[in-house]
């Protein structure tokens, strides 16, 4: 399918109603409505969905560096700015008919690497801050994030009889997309540090005579 045909197909797409199994599916459907004009432009330019996937990973890896430098609020703002990119590859793949097993594999793999880049950036910052509690929690989050792909692969291996139509396609993981998982962390981290700071000692109470 060439870019012009893909753009025409996008114009005929209408969101399905009443078929969402999870809140994430509903949110993705609403996001695709917003992204439709941009998807149409990318389809006309014949941009491959895998290119968008790789670009999203590079952007999030860069934000991981921003976190590592201690610019948590800036990193959170940048995550909000690039959040649509993370859903753009799947929307583009579905719109132009380029869904593939390799695309789903690439998307899932780079999602986990994006998680790792963001978590390690935050971890580097809080190691310098000496906040061992948050460092431990972030390392637990890193392990849990990397387990997602392993558990999914084991589940698919346990049910080899499932048809290709039942196999999750690109961007159909029902957990929140990577950028959204770290908005709250980056926004709350300065406030956490403020709350965790011990209160200054006040004047000693005066004896009542």
Q: Give the model's pLDDT for residue 75.
A: 94
Q: Give the model's pLDDT for residue 62.
A: 96
- Under CATH, which architecture does the 3-11+24-159+166-187 domain have? Up-down Bundle (1.20)
Q: Give the model's pLDDT for residue 72.
A: 94
Mean pLDDT by 10 residues, the chain (209 residues): 53 51 67 83 92 95 96 93 86 89 91 93 95 94 85 76 48 46 51 44 49
Q: For the chain, which residues make up each domain, given as ranges?
A: 3-11+24-159+166-187
Q: Give the model's pLDDT for residue 87.
A: 84
CB 50 within 8 A of CB 157: no
Q: How far apart are CA 76 and CA 74, in angstroms?
A: 5
Q: How far apart are CA 2 and CA 44, in angstroms?
A: 8
Q: Give the model's pLDDT for residue 158.
A: 79
Q: Which two tokens mark 111?
A: 């999602």
Q: Give the model's pLDDT for residue 108.
A: 87
111 belongs to the catalytic site: yes
Among 60, 62, 64, residue whose Cα is nearest residue 84: 60
**Which residue matches tokens 């005066």?**
206
Residues 6+ apart with CB under 8 A from 31: 84, 87, 91
Q: Give the model's pLDDT for residue 128.
A: 95
Among 126, 127, 152, 123, residue whose Cα is nearest residue 140: 123
Choose the catalytic residue: 111, 115, 131, 166.
Answer: 111
Q: How far is CA 24 from CA 104, 106, 184, in A?
A: 17, 20, 17
Q: How far is CA 153 from CA 86, 114, 134, 165, in A?
A: 22, 19, 30, 16
């Amino acid at each position: 399918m060439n870019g012009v045909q893909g753009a025409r197909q996008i114009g005929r797409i209408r969101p399905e109603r009443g078929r969402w199994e999870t809140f994430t599916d509903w949110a993705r459907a609403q996001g695709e409505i917003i992204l439709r004009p941009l998807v149409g432009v990318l389809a006309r330019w014949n941009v491959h969905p895998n290119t968008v996937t790789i670009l999203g990973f590079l952007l999030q890896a860069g934000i991981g560096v921003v976190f590592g430098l201690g610019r948590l609020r800036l990193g959170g703002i940048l995550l909000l700015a690039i959040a649509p990119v993370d859903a753009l590859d799947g929307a583009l793949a579905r719109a132009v008919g380029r869904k593939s097993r390799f695309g789903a594999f690439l998307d899932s793999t780079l999602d986990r690497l994006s998680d790792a880049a963001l978590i390690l950036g935050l971890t580097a910052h809080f190691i310098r801050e000496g906040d061992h509690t948050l460092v431990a929690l972030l390392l637990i989050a890193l392990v849990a994030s990397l387990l997602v792909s392993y558990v999914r692969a084991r589940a698919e291996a346990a049910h080899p009889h499932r048809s290709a139509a039942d196999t999750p396609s690109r961007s159909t993981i029902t957990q929140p997309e990577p950028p959204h998982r770290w908005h709250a962390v980056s926004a709350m981290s300065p406030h956490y540090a403020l709350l965790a700071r011990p209160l200054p000692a006040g004047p000693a109470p005066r004896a009542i005579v």
